[in-house]
Structure 1
Amino acid sequence: MRIRRTSHLLALTALTALALTACEDGTGVQDEGASRPASSTATAAQPTPATDKGAGTTPSKDTAGSTGGTAGNTGAGKGSATGGDTGARTDDKADTASGSRVLCNGSNTEVTAEPVARPLNHMLLTVTNTGSRTCDLTYYPVVRFDEMQWVPQAAEKTRPQAVTSLAPGESGYAGVLLSAADGSGDGGQTAKKLTVAFQGYTPNSDGGASATPPLPAKGLYYDSSLTVTYWQQGMDDALSW
């Protein structure tokens, strides 16, 4: 009995020693392997921070885009300031100062005066630039029939937003109301001669040589209703009043 117990104790001791030795020399890798899925899980989870990091870079791109847009807007603003109305005004001043633009008058234009069927009792003045430089038709024509001692006024509602300018060969227009359609005008008479004077760059200033376009052989009837339009770029605008 003592021998069996001793054998049993020796066997148990040997198994215990073997178990301890296995733990020390790495045979417990199964336990470590069991913990590896957690490590693998952590590794698999790593793309999430990477994705977050990528998402974090998106605002940077948006910011850069916004900066680019701001720069684009700034550039557009500069373009508008440089090439807009200010530039046009500068060009106008430069042209006038350098003498490349002149006033339209009887010396550099051809002027015609023709009665029209519509509107009733109207006449159309046409001024064609026969010179070699652009000329300006300022304000309205100063019309005088025969030796009349008064100056017809202009219809204020026909004032254009810009001076009528004529390049060589181009024409400008003005409409003339000769008499009231209802016969309410006073001092009616038939004119045989017409003189058209031009204004300068300030109202009622001298714009240069006058023109004397011929009238129909029978003359033109006018009365106290005689009114003119401002110079217009288009014929329709001159006769729409």
Structure 2
Amino acid sequence: MRNRHFRRTARTSVLGTAALLAALTLTACQGDDQAAADSAPAPSAPSEQPSDSPKAPADQQKDSTGSDADSGSASGSDSVSSSGSTHAEPAAQKPKGTAKDTGADSGPVTRACDGGNTKVTITAVTRPINHMLLTVTNTGSKACNAYYHPFLAFGEAQAVPPVYEESKPQAVVTLSPGQSAYAGVMTSSADGSGEGGYSTKDLTVSFQNRQGSGSTGPSSNVPLAKPVYVDSTLKVTYWQATMTEALTY
């Protein structure tokens, strides 16, 4: 009887001990799970916009300079303005041609002045002595160039008079419609040293071509108010832009 009671007590003690160990083990497992949960990283927040969301309004896509952020850089020679219109690069402009120290031009081809697009007059002047002023005026509708110097023929002269080389301008004189150019003419020597003098009321003026290799276009017959005396010292200047320059020589 005593042994049976002892065995029951021992069995109860073993069962109690086992239950206690199981409870302790469960408590430890729960503590480990809680620690693991505390140390796990927090889940990442979802993105603010889905990948297929519509683009922001156009005015929000421009950067601080006012250009479209996704437009990229322009290629080729054309450029795009802020209004979206395309502008071609301006064509390179040719420099206006003037021939320095030659009396001829190197710019765009312009028609030479001649007797068909000008009016020519000649007048006597008091200074310099024995000089006259030749004036050519563009009567056409387009500009013309008064190249080099005029070819003069007084009366029945067989040769044109020489030119004052020092009067050569830096550039050809271009005449717009209505504008004039001038040339000074020394008709005879003041001291009577000239030879072969004669008087005439006839004067023919011819114009030089662009190359300076001869005359061009029709000549002009210039009426003289009274006979003009000329001799071997007859000389002419290059065409000048002003009367003052023409009468300097």
- Normalised to the residue count of structure 2, the TM-score between the two structures is 0.58
Change (3 A) 1:230 1:94: closer
Instruction: Return the match for 1:165 from 174, 199, 210.
Output: 174
Equivalent residue letter for 1:114 = T
Equivalent residue letter for 1:137 = A
The aligned residue for residue 225 of structure 1 is 233
- Tell me the CA shift for residue 209 of structure 1: 0.8
Do the aligned residues in 1 keep the contact of 2:183 with 2:238 (CA within 8 Å)? yes
Question: Does residue 96 of structure 2 align to residue 88 of structure 1?
Answer: yes
Instruction: Return the match for 1:215 from 224, 229, 241.
Output: 224
Do the aligned residues in 1 keep the contact of 2:122 with 2:135 (CA within 8 Å)? yes
Instruction: Return the match for 1:194 from 176, 198, 203.
Output: 203
The aligned residue for residue 154 of structure 1 is 163
Do the aligned residues in 1 keep the contact of 2:207 with 2:219 (CA within 8 Å)? yes
Larger Rg: 2
- Return 5+ residue gaps in structure 1 as ranges: 1-81
1:19-52 Cα deviation digits (max 9, x unpaired): xxxxxxxxxxxxxxxxxxxxxxxxxxxxxxxxxx
Equivalent residue letter for 1:119 = P
- Return 5+ residue gaps in structure 2 as ranges: 1-91, 99-104
The aligned residue for residue 178 of structure 1 is 187
SS in 1 for 2:96: helix
- Tell me the CA shift for residue 148 of structure 1: 0.9
1:65-104 Cα deviation digits (max 9, x unpaired): xxxxxxxxxxxxxxxxx77xx61139x86742xxxx3110
- Tell me the CA shift for residue 203 of structure 1: 1.9
Distance in 1, matches of 2:212 and 2:190, equals 30
Distance in 1, matches of 2:164 and 2:114, equals 21
SS in 2 for 1:221: strand
SS in 2 for 1:237: helix
Alignment of 1:11-50 (within 5 A): none
Q: CA RMSD in A?
A: 1.8
Distance in 2, matches of 1:186 and 1:143, equals 18
Identity %: 49
The structure with the greater share of residues assigned to helix is: 1
Deviates more, 1:167-176 or 1:146-155: 146-155
Misfit runs of 4+, over 3 Å: 92-95
The aligned residue for residue 59 of structure 2 is none
Equivalenced residues, count: 152
- Tell me the CA shift for residue 198 of structure 1: 0.5
The aligned residue for residue 108 of structure 1 is 117
Distance in 2, matches of 1:161 and 1:130, equals 25
The aligned residue for residue 215 of structure 2 is 206
Distance in 1, matches of 2:213 and 2:199, equals 26
- Tell me the CA shift for residue 113 of structure 1: 0.9
Distance in 2, matches of 1:203 and 1:114, equals 26
The aligned residue for residue 58 of structure 1 is none
Equivalent residue letter for 1:172 = A
Distance in 1, matches of 2:163 and 2:232, equals 13
- Normalised to the residue count of structure 1, the TM-score between the two structures is 0.60
Equivalent residue letter for 1:198 = F
